[in-house]
Structure 1
Amino acid sequence: MPCTQVVRYISRCTIKPQRHVLEEEPSSIELTPWDLAMLSTHYIQKGLLFYKEKEQKEKEPIVDQLKHSLSRVLVHFFPLAGRLVTKKHSSSSSSSFVFIDCNGQGVEFIHAMAENVTVDNILGPIDMTHVVKSFFALDEAVSHDGHSFPLLVVQLTELVDGVFVGCSFNHVVGDGTSFWHFFHMWSEISRTKGLKPCDQISRPPIIQRWFLPHMDKTLISIIPFTNPQEFIERYTPPLPLKEKIFHFSQKSMAILKKKANENYKKEKISSFQALCAHVWRAITRSRDLPVDQKTSCSLAINNRIRLDPPLSSDYFGNCIQAIIVTTTVGELLSRDVAWAAEELHRRVVEHTDGVVRGALESWIKDPYVYHTSDFDGCSVMVGGSPRFDMYGNEFGWGKAMGARSGSANKFDGKVSSYPGVEGGGSVDLEMCLSPGVMNVLESDQEFMGLVSTI
């Protein structure tokens, strides 16, 4: 493959927690329905791009700095150093019990070089998707592979004038909130350069899983399968996808919010909900679908703040769910962006503690695992969040210049949201579409009129 020729691998090693996990920490972790539903999804692949420091010669080499700080942060995020384990359930020959064995086997660290690639190459207008994909490990691995693969693989790729820190993070272990929590604490330890004690970080993770109070957690962690072939899907898009990042400035976000709230005295619809409505309508226009075709917009939503009482943002695990608005192409395109934004807003407001708990109850009665093939080519799925503090991850080399992702969990209609690098409420959207649809979208004046150059 072309992307493998860009990177030259220097070394691979296993990084283990710097010291043994305390005795009071669990040796195994039961999984919740939110976790188990991710068994067939790819690893989360996200990373940050930095410029190299000019005076690096006088400092600890970056690769040594990252290895050392990684071993220290794993003391706190010790489940990442374990492996998944499945055992047949004692009372049912057709069910399995899946959990994380916190055995301290460690995570993998890869050091690589991209000797002809610069930071500007990655950030520039030329499509460098194939290059960025080579900055991540475990391509095509699904989370169930965490039975034999590490639950975390870090790849440090040195560029001509920069470095890219990419993580492949098992989705059963945690969601995007957990991913960036880990990344943030790792960078915090790295930039302090050992000045703080190993056991001190500003936001210790809450490792203990949350379960419905009246449920036996050993029964909740069961899936009605014994053979992985019954529920694991190895998904690849049927056609090549085109990926592109579109930037929406603070000004563009304000314009969208104003449009979405024209009928309200108080601005109740958020700028992000308005942006999702704008994107949904634009992609649907570009697809040129029949007016009676069903189309939906799904938003990945954080359940932590919707539970009563709410879970801490430091809860380390999966705690997400999708809210879905479905209509016909004709209705979506015959109405304005305010209508679509209000439909999304209404569904978000309706996603209450009762709805979250009800969905968990339903899963326990009828367990399922997410399959990427379930997403059709007529809809849009928005993941990620512009609220993730990606650019607050500072390893001691200055602020990151960009956030990028690998090939994982991508399909026609997948949209991933990031905060804009300049802050101020700006948003970057990474969009995956068929090449023909992407070309039409880039010629859509209504859509591109709000897209800015970074």
Structure 2
Amino acid sequence: MAATVEITRTTLLEPSPESARGGGKKVPLTVFDRASTDGYIPAVFAWNGPAPTNDALKEGLLAAVARFPHLAGRFAADDHGRKCFHLNDAGVLVVEATVDADLANALAHDVSTHINELYPKADREREGEPLFNVQLTRYTCGGLVIGTACHHQVADGQSMSVFYTAWATAVRTDSAVLPSPFTDRSATAVPRSPPAPEFDHRNIEFKGEHSANHSYKVLPMDRIKNLAVHFPDEFVAGLKARVGTRCSTFQCLLAHVWKKVTTARDLAPDELTHVRLAVNCRSRAKPPVPMDFFGNMVLWAFPTMHVRDLLSSSYPAVVGVIRDTVARVDSDYIQSFVDFGEAAERGAIEGGGGDELASTAATPGMVFCPDLEVDSWLGFRFHDLDFGYGPPCAFLPPDLPIEGIMIFVPSCAAKGGVDLFMALDHDHVETFKQICYSMND
């Protein structure tokens, strides 16, 4: 019988007038914000007991959120009817819950049956909805699960890793010494005058008449199966040796998994397959944006190969395609994207407002086959997520409702390695499992 999650308290935590930094300002969404998913992204972490008290966690959360005013704000409309951030310090929602079960037992057997009860549910359509929500769930053994749901237009993964680390620091130490992140969104998207976009962003980052989303089909949700694969450090080292040239852990694992998923899908040799690959643009912009910038600054690269070429090419060749494609997301491309956003903004205002830009981000049930979408959290230092009793013992992936989506995270296992969480059509799962550790080209 699956464990039952019982909610015991729900609280809206508001920064105090002395610590609040929002000031009631209305801040426009940048074009990077508009290109991100218009919805809430969950993240769930587990710690073995003992763990800090809920009061300590909430006190640290308030101290951290005060330095990240977008998280305590709300969506609103500006004078032109355009969606914006209202930094009104309205607060974050905290849900407290208990589970009549042992955490270790739940992790070993049935946590997947109640994972969706371990983070707050938020409705992007509901007016006044908090942009950041937290759930603190206690198990009988003293174990703790922290589940969060943050609206993606507020922040990307890099930003949230900075915030989580700040929250953990606030619980462990004197919150007065917490650093403040860089939050000036306007500095990350400065258009040329006049704006001069050079690429077809209307059909790349946004839904235009020629964007790829028009050709993706939809599957019933019960056909989309989630699975987790652990790649030990020794396996990653073997892959890197196979590549031969210097490459990152992410590049060699992506090359490997792209090959194996494509094989499992049994695609036609002349079919094209690409990977929608998230690229952090902070260091690529000119001038560079600080890595602690809190907001969205991600674009996508699309490494593309014919199936026959992908499957017959060596690992170094596939890594080279990935690396070369990512390199094209350079300062010129980023500036073109910013200019496109400015031109679209002016056109929308002149045409009477309204959110005319719709992101190409996937929606539940979408099937990326023959393609993939991949995010990397390998830069997220999970060992820094220490609230005083050590790093998390597990990262728990919520249900991934999109076929072909993949997330690489550093493993919380004592021996390290990388965990891959992914979703595939159930017809392809068993074949993938059989070949996922084979290094044959």
In 2 relative to 1, CA 70–415 (structure 1 residues): closer, same or farther, beyond 3 Å? same
Q: Indicate yes or no: 2:360 matched with 1:370.
A: yes
CA distance in 2 between partners of 1:216 and 1:128 (Å): 54
CA distance in 2 between partners of 1:65 and 1:133 (Å): 25
Q: Indicate yes or no: 2:254 matched with 1:254.
A: no
Three-state SS of the structure 2 residue aligned to 1:306 is coil
Q: CA deviation at 1:316?
A: 0.5
Structure 1 moving runs of 4+ over 6 Å: none
In 2 relative to 1, CA 364–394 (structure 1 residues): closer, same or farther, beyond 3 Å? same
Determine the structure 2 residue equivalent to 1:80.
71
| Gapped regions of structure 1 (runs ≥ 5) | 90-95, 218-223, 225-229, 262-266
Given that 1:293 and 1:329 are in contact with CA atoms closer than 8 Å, whether structure 2 keeps it comes out as: yes
Q: How does 1:91-170 map to 2 (within 5 A)?
A: 96-122=81-107, 124=108, 126=109, 128-138=111-121, 141-142=123-124, 145=125, 147-161=127-141, 162-170=143-151
Q: Indicate yes or no: 2:171 matched with 1:190.
A: yes
Q: CA deviation at 1:216?
A: 10
CA distance in 2 between partners of 1:279 and 1:393 (Å): 28
| Gapped regions of structure 2 (runs ≥ 5) | 196-201, 203-207, 209-216, 345-356
Deviates more, 1:382-391 or 1:309-318: 382-391
Deviates more, 1:111-120 or 1:366-375: 366-375
Q: Which amino acid aligns with 1:135?
A: L
Determine the structure 2 residue equivalent to 1:245.
228
Given that 1:136 and 1:167 are in contact with CA atoms closer than 8 Å, whether structure 2 keeps it comes out as: yes
Q: CA deviation at 1:165?
A: 0.6
Three-state SS of the structure 2 residue aligned to 1:388 is coil
2:376 is matched with which residue: 378, 384, 406?
384
Q: Indicate yes or no: 2:58 matched with 1:67.
A: yes
Q: How does 1:307-326 map to 2 (within 5 A)?
A: 307-326=285-304
Question: TM-score, length-normalised on structure 1?
Answer: 0.81
2:29 is matched with which residue: 19, 28, 31?
31
CA distance in 2 between partners of 1:16 and 1:342 (Å): 49
Q: How many residues align?
A: 402
Three-state SS of the structure 1 residue aligned to 2:303 is strand
Q: Indicate yes or no: 2:40 matched with 1:48.
A: no
Deviates more, 1:18-27 or 1:416-425: 18-27
Q: CA deviation at 1:255?
A: 1.4
CA distance in 2 between partners of 1:183 and 1:171 (Å): 15
Q: Indicate yes or no: 2:6 matched with 1:8.
A: yes
Q: CA deviation at 1:381?
A: 1.0
CA distance in 1 between partners of 2:414 and 2:101 (Å): 30
Q: How does 1:220-231 map to 2 (within 5 A)?
A: none
1:399 is matched with which residue: 369, 374, 391?
391
In 2 relative to 1, CA 251–146 (structure 1 residues): closer, same or farther, beyond 3 Å? farther
Deviates more, 1:127-136 or 1:410-419: 127-136
Q: Which whole-Å deviations, capped at 9, do the CAs of 1:192-230 have from their partners, x for residues lacking one?
A: 2xx343xx21x311111022154699xxxxxx9xxxxx9
Q: Which amino acid aligns with 2:184?
A: Q
- What root-mean-square deviation, in Å, do the aligned CA atoms of Structure 1 and Structure 2 show? 2.8
Given that 1:18 and 1:72 are in contact with CA atoms closer than 8 Å, whether structure 2 keeps it comes out as: no
Q: Percent identity?
A: 24
CA distance in 2 between partners of 1:303 and 1:449 (Å): 33
Q: Which amino acid aligns with 2:30?
A: T
Q: CA deviation at 1:315?
A: 0.3
